[in-house]
Amino acid sequence: MALLYPIGMQNFPNIVNRGYAYVDKTALIYQLTHTFAACFLSRPRRFGKSLLLSTMEAYFRGRRELFKGLAIEELEKDWTVHPVIHIDLNNGNFGSKERLSSTLEGQITKLERDYGITNPLPEIGQRFGEIIRVACEATGQQVVVLIDEYDKPMLEIMTDEEAQKEYRQVLKPFYGTLKASEQYLRFIFITGVTKFAKLSVFSDLNQLKDISLLPDYDTLCGITTQEMIQYFGSGVEAFAQAKGWTVDETIAKLEHKYDGYHFSSRKTGVLNPFSLLNALSDKDLEAYWFATGTPTFLARLMERHHTPADSLVGYKATSELLTSVESVRTNPIPVIYQSGYLTIKDYDEATRRYTLGFPNEEVEQGFLNFLLPYYVKKEDINSSLTIEDFVEDFRDGKAEDMLKRVQSLFADVNFELVLDTEAHYKNVLYIVFKLIGLQVEVERHTSQGSIDMVVKTDRYVYIIEFKYKGTAKKAIDQIIDRGYALPYQCDPRTVLLIGASFSPRTRTLSSRWIIQPLKGKA
């Protein structure tokens, strides 16, 4: 029987009853629900949060038959049936305060009918609290509250401060009810992308544990390589056979394309589940996750805060910064991380800071490709740049041809994501060179300063210094005088020093660039 992939499926009973493959996370669910009374989990979209809540709902409703053969079947002895209140804001329309109120009203009204409440209280928060109380007293068991994508309304109006104030007026009393209802509650689980500290969820509900960065739960959503092999091994083998690859080669390619998400300091890698399942089903390596949502909002944030693209890789952040969105007015990095376009690459125990970077090829290529038209016109990219020619120039040491190609690339920009023109040009080149698969470093620090750009291939190292309203000679002299090439003195590759200047009149490279090999290499 062919393996059935639960692509886009979020209902646990449907997955089990219809024979789809299910990655068993139930041991973690048991541990979580017996460790904390209330939890919050932040993960990017399409990472399995809704399926996780559906699985929890089936567990707390005591549906033991669905868990046959899963880890929790042996761990749980009682299978107590609890009333479960499942609030799903994932598909609501939140274009206005009225629509937000209407969505909540609809979900609350349905719950009131379910529990026979015929004379509802006047306020939405009071009604929610009354439902929790009645459910507990009617069944004799404490209530489980599951809220999926609690922050969806706020994310839709992220940049509208007045709208945020209005939405808070609706949401604050609704979520604040959970604190007052503590005596009736067995467990609370809330998912979302980010933390809005002023919504009562985190400010008032002080028993809520944020597990988003806890190592014990870093694989609660997503699929590890071991799980991929265990649950989808036959699919990996079929993929390998279809492509003429070995199984090991196939696993390596899938990891390179979709792995690399780390959600704790432990850096346990997980693959993007949506992309992985689609890839195995189609036997192809496409940008499935990236294609389901364009990061226009994030690009606009980068523009507003003048955030250069190269600053995303290697950015250092505290856990407080990564788990909150309140800093978005001054810094877009947290919401870029929370949205899944950046991930944890390293953790410094001494400073307690995380180093960020792109998780994998799908995200890096997709995000940079999306940003490029924000720097240069799409038609200019298509007319002046072919990947094959650029790669050949760098591979074969054709620095002159490469610079001519760069010169033809630049044209009038749509708008800039950086403060000054020199930084703009460097960002364009960083994005282009990364997109064509080159190893690029921008503002590489040395003991004497920072190099504008270093590009490496198998046979060449290019050390490039740019000047705006300056000269190529001044640029090349800076490389030599400050010893920028010293770290590559013993490098077996050919090292080329390049000094170039940008002309404010032509808005591109001046033709008077200087190219020279590093002298006196050991």
Q: What is the pLDDT of residue 419?
A: 47
Q: What is the pLDDT of residues 196-246, one digit of tens each?
A: 766 666 766 667 899 999 999 999 999 999 999 999 999 999 999 999 999
**pLDDT band (50, 70, 90) for residue 367:** very high
Question: Is the model's pLDDT at 45 over the cut of 60?
Answer: yes
Share of the chain above pLDDT 90, in %: 62
Over residues 54-61, mean pLDDT: 98
Cβ pair 376, 413 in contact under 8 A: yes
Q: What is the pLDDT of residue 456?
A: 93
Distance of CA 476 to the CA centre of its chain: 39
- For residue 87, which of 168, 219, 201 has the smallest C-alpha distance? 201
Q: What is the pLDDT of residues 128-173, one digit of tens each?
A: 999 999 999 999 999 999 999 998 888 888 778 788 888 888 888 8
Burial of 391 (0-12, 13-18, 19+ CB in 10 A): middle
Question: Is the model's pLDDT at 418 over the cut of 50?
Answer: no
Can you tell me whether residue 495 is helix, strand or coil?
A: strand
**pLDDT band (50, 70, 90) for residue 374:** confident
Question: Is the model's pLDDT at 383 over the cut of 60?
Answer: no
Share of the chain above pLDDT 70, in %: 92
Cβ pair 236, 191 in contact under 8 A: no
Q: What is the pLDDT of residues 293-316, one digit of tens each?
A: 888 888 888 888 888 888 898 999
247 vs 47: CA distance, rounded Å: 25
Q: Which helix (H) or strand (E) holds 383?
A: helix 378-384
